[in-house]
């Protein structure tokens, strides 16, 4: 169990820093077309912001804001979004993951492909963020279970 | 049984080492990936996907199946962690 870190400097800095970390994570996901980055990297940055929250404020306070169940749902949702985009392009008469066939109101096929890439990057980002946080949460809360039983 | 397993491992390893012979040499400009695949991506990426970052277009568009597999691996790792570590009393 990770207890609340009773230090006003750490807690204040984390409170100020976490929104910026999350904003940067979103930027890395959305800007993957033009700069180094993308779903995996941005998802990990988003995940670290939640891990920072848990380290500074303790597990109990953090679990009031994010539940393990919601994280599991988000982890599955990202994979579902990715494979769903593939399935939609399959249903529209293309190959699986052939983004050019997505039903978007954009004239040029190249831009539809760019939107498809953005869609799957968002899916990857959601999934990676949730799974990173879930793994940390599972490992961090494992200790308490042992203490209570033993 | 263990001797058999060792033999299978050695045989598979030997096959893989034998296969190295047929691979193109490191950074060979005449190797098939350098001649066919890479120039195709470099020339057509912006035209076909409107994505200036070639890493992203290869990762997410040309090699989309591979990335889907990667996400599935991460998802499986998370599910395995939950199954192994979470308390059962909840």
Taking the CA of residue B36 and the nearest CA in chain A, the distance in Å comes to 21
CA atoms of A15 and A119, how far apart (whole Å): 30
Structural domain total, chain B: 1
| Probe site for chain B from A95, A98, A117, A140 (most B CB atoms < 10 A) | A117
- Is B19 inside a domain boundary? yes
B62 contacts chain A (CB < 8 A): no
The long-range contacts involving A86-93, CB below 8 angstroms and separated by at least 24 positions, are A86/B64, A86/B68, A89/A116
- Is B85 inside a domain boundary? no
- Domain ranges for chain A, please list them: 8-149
CB burial of A8-29 (b: ≥16 within 10 Å; e: otherwise) equals: eeeeeebeeebeebbeebeebb
Q: What are phi and psi of A12, to 5 degrees?
A: -65, -45
Which range marks the domain in which residue B12 is found?
2-62
| Section A20-39 average pLDDT | 92
Q: How far is CA B61 from CA A120, B50, B58, in A?
A: 9, 11, 6
pTM of this prediction?
0.83
ipTM for this prediction: 0.84
Q: Do B71 and A138 touch (CB under 8 A)?
A: no
**pLDDT (tens digit per residue) in A116-129:** 999 999 999 999 99
B34 contacts chain A (CB < 8 A): no
**pLDDT (tens digit per residue) in B14-38:** 999 999 888 888 888 888 888 888 8
Binned at pLDDT 50, 70 and 90, residue A1 comes out as low
3-state DSSP assignment of residue B7 = helix
Q: Which residues of A touch B65 (CB under 8 A)?
A: 96-97
- Is B73 inside a domain boundary? no
CA atoms of B72 and B59, how far apart (whole Å): 15
- Is B12 inside a domain boundary? yes
- Is B78 inside a domain boundary? no
- Is B71 inside a domain boundary? no
CB burial of A73-103 (b: ≥16 within 10 Å; e: otherwise) equals: ebbbebbbbbbebbebbeeeeeeebbbbbbe
Taking the CA of residue A12 and the nearest CA in chain B, the distance in Å comes to 31
Taking the CA of residue A20 and the nearest CA in chain B, the distance in Å comes to 24
- Is B82 inside a domain boundary? no
Average pLDDT, chain A: 88
Residue A127: its pLDDT value, please?
A: 96
Along the 90 residues of chain B, how does pLDDT read in single tens digits? Answer: 889 999 999 999 999 999 988 888 888 888 888 888 888 888 988 888 888 888 899 998 888 999 999 999 999 999 999 888 876 555
- The candidate with the shortest Cα–Cα distance to A25, out of A50, A42, A40, A44, is A42
CA atoms of A100 and A111, how far apart (whole Å): 8
Q: Do B85 and A139 touch (CB under 8 A)?
A: yes
Q: Do A117 and B87 touch (CB under 8 A)?
A: no
B47 contacts chain A (CB < 8 A): yes
- Is B74 inside a domain boundary? no
């Amino acid at each position: 169990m990770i207890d609340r870190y009773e230090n006003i400097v750490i807690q204040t800095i984390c409170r100020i820093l976490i929104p910026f970390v999350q904003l940067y994570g979103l930027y890395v996901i959305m800007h993957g077309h033009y700069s180094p980055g993308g779903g995996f990297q941005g998802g990990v940055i988003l995940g670290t912001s939640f891990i920072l929250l848990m380290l500074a404020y303790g597990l109990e306070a953090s679990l009031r804001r994010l539940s393990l169940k919601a994280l599991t749902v988000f982890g599955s949702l990202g994979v579902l979004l990715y494979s769903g985009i593939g399935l939609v392009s399959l249903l529209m008469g293309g190959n699986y993951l052939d983004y050019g066939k997505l039903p978007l109101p954009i004239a040029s096929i190249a831009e539809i492909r760019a939107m498809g890439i953005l869609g799957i990057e968002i899916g990857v980002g959601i999934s990676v963020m949730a799974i990173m946080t879930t793994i940390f949460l599972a490992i961090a809360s494992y200790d308490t279970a042992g203490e209570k039983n033993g | 049984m263990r001797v058999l397993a060792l033999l299978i491992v050695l045989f598979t390893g030997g096959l893989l080492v034998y296969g190295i012979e047929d691979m193109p040499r490191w950074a060979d400009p005449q190797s098939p990936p350098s001649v066919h695949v890479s120039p195709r991506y470099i020339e057509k990426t912006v035209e076909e996907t409107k994505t200036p970052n070639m890493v992203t277009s290869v990762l997410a568009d040309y090699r989309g199946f591979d990335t889907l597999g990667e996400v599935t691996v991460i998802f499986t790792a998370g599910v395995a962690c939950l199954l192994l570590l979470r308390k059962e009393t909840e």
